[in-house]
Structure 1
Amino acid sequence: MPPDEDGAYVEVHAKGLIVNDGPLSRPVPVALRYDPGAEPTTVRLDFPGGTSWVFPRTLLEAGLRAPARRGDMGVWPCGRVQTVVELHTSDGVAMVQFDSSVLLRFLRSTYAVTASSVTR
């Protein structure tokens, strides 16, 4: 993701776990991105193969504490240390599990970037 004119953006690389109905799950690299110059209220998850999901930053934040849904996306805590992001497509449903601490650090970074760009 290119930085905005002030060079402010957040990009965090994380490992998600694609959760299936069956006994096998598989890890997947995910890039968590935030560009306040382009869309200050949204975050983006980029998956291998060019698949991206853009959704409100507030949905991710709310889903870390309690189940939250908006349109074709849902986010909810899974146990004490993990969070699930559910994505609905015409091909079906994908559920990706993340360590909550990674998502929380990402969110904190997005708010820090937003605060610093406001004070410029």
Structure 2
Amino acid sequence: MITVIEQAVQARLIATAPKVETVPVTLCYDRADPFAVRMAFPALATLEGVEVSWTFARELLAAGVRQPSGSGDVRVRPYDGDRTTIEFHAAEGVAIVLMVTAELQRFLDRAAALVPLGLEHHYLDMDHGLAELMRGSR
């Protein structure tokens, strides 16, 4: 049974220090962390020259393709009928990427087929999570 979904997409960097226009981005959803999605940027698109990943709420991405969402480090909003803007706020600055909404929606649909929105709590391994938290307390 599939437990992890990865999808390669193209993103256009709007505001970034390295002058890169279009970069391949990897979207990842793991059933073991059912509330989150991960977006990985290749080294060529980062200030540090290493791959950088952002993990944020799947619900934020799902809401953001329809209406402006988020007020923290990650903000998602429709740009036009075909594209979605995702803003990443960090101490180093702000990176804004523009992605095709249909590609994001396809990723979200695949994730929802794995774990339906609203039912994520059924996929949490609470015993394992609690054991991890308590491991260092002895």
TM-score band, normalised by the shorter chain?
0.7 to 0.9
Unpaired stretches in structure 1, ≥5 consecutive residues: 1-5
What's the counterpart of residue 34 of structure 2?
40
1:4-83 maps to which residues of 2 (within 5 A)? 6-20=1-15, 26-37=21-32, 39-49=33-43, 50-83=51-84
Max radius of gyration: which structure? 2
User: Greater share of strand residues, 1 or 2?
Assistant: 1
- TM (norm. structure 2) is 0.73
% identical equivalent positions: 35
Letter in 2 for 1:88: H
Question: What is the CA distance between 1:44 and its match in structure 2?
Answer: 0.4
What's the counterpart of residue 103 of structure 2?
102
1:36-71 CA-to-partner distances (Å, cap 9, x unmatched) read: 12x110000000021000000000001011100142
Q: Secondary structure at the match of 2:31?
A: coil
Q: Distance in 1 between matches of 2:69 and 2:89?
A: 14
Q: Distance in 1 between matches of 2:94 and 2:114?
A: 32
Q: Distance in 1 between matches of 2:113 and 2:39?
A: 19
Q: Distance in 2 between matches of 1:17 and 1:74?
A: 16
1:4-40 CA-to-partner distances (Å, cap 9, x unmatched) read: xx4421110000000139xx86001100000012x11
What's the counterpart of residue 3 of structure 1?
none
Query: How large is the Cα RMSD of the aligned pairs?
Result: 1.7
Contact 1:59 1:70 in 2 (8 A): no
User: Greater share of helix residues, 1 or 2?
Assistant: 2
